[in-house]
Amino acid sequence: MARKRKTWVIYPEYFDRRLSRSQGRRVPVKYSVSDPNVEDISVILSSYGIPNRVETSEHHPSTWYERNGRILISKQNIPKQAFLVMMGEKLKNKRTP
């Protein structure tokens, strides 16, 4: 029997403009930013009242040589892809003055 996870893992690579989809980016380029980091993503999640846990020593499987970290959050009531696009929009708005 397959085990259901109760958490989502969010990597900064999901929002990295420099990466292709096959390299780990999960949002469209128009919602991505250059050099995303776990701290910015964590601040956005906290502003929405979403508890999160930052693990700075972890890495995305496709970039095992870079320790960019990851964020763990509880599952939300919307599909993960829609949630990531929403987070990408907020991250991009935070970065643009």
What's the whole-number mean pLDDT along residues 41-59? 93
Any idea what the CATH number is for the domain that residue 81 is in? 3.30.56.30
Percent of the chain at pLDDT > 90 equals 71
Residue 10 located in a structural domain: no
Does the residue 78 lie in any domain?
yes
Residue 2 lies in a domain: no
Residue 31 in this model has a pLDDT that exceeds 90: yes
Distance of CA 62 to CAs 2, 20, 65, 68, 94, Å? 24, 11, 9, 12, 26
In a domain, 11, yes or no: no
Angle, CA of 93, 80 and 42, to the nearest 5°: 45
The one-character DSSP state at 43 is H
Q: Does 97 have pLDDT greater than 70?
A: no
Is residue 88 predicted with pLDDT exceeding 80? yes
**pTM score of the predicted model:** 0.88
Burial class from Cβ neighbours inside 10 Å (0-12, 13-18, 19+) for residue 97 reads exposed
pLDDT of residue 60: 85
Segment 27-43 shows an average pLDDT of 93
Domain count, the chain: 1
Which structural domain range is residue 35 located in?
20-95
83 part of a folded domain: yes
Decide: residue 88, CB within 10 A, 0-12 exposed, 13-18 middle, 19+ buried: buried
Give the model's pLDDT for residue 55. 93
Is 86 inside a domain boundary? yes
Residue 5, in any domain of the structure: no
- Asked if residue 6 belongs to a domain, the reply is no
Pairing mode, if any, of strands 7-10 and 52-55? Answer: unpaired
Residue with the bigger pLDDT between 51 and 95: it is: 51
Whether the predicted pLDDT of 59 surpasses 70: yes
With bands split at pLDDT 50, 70 and 90, how would you rate the model's confidence at 94? confident
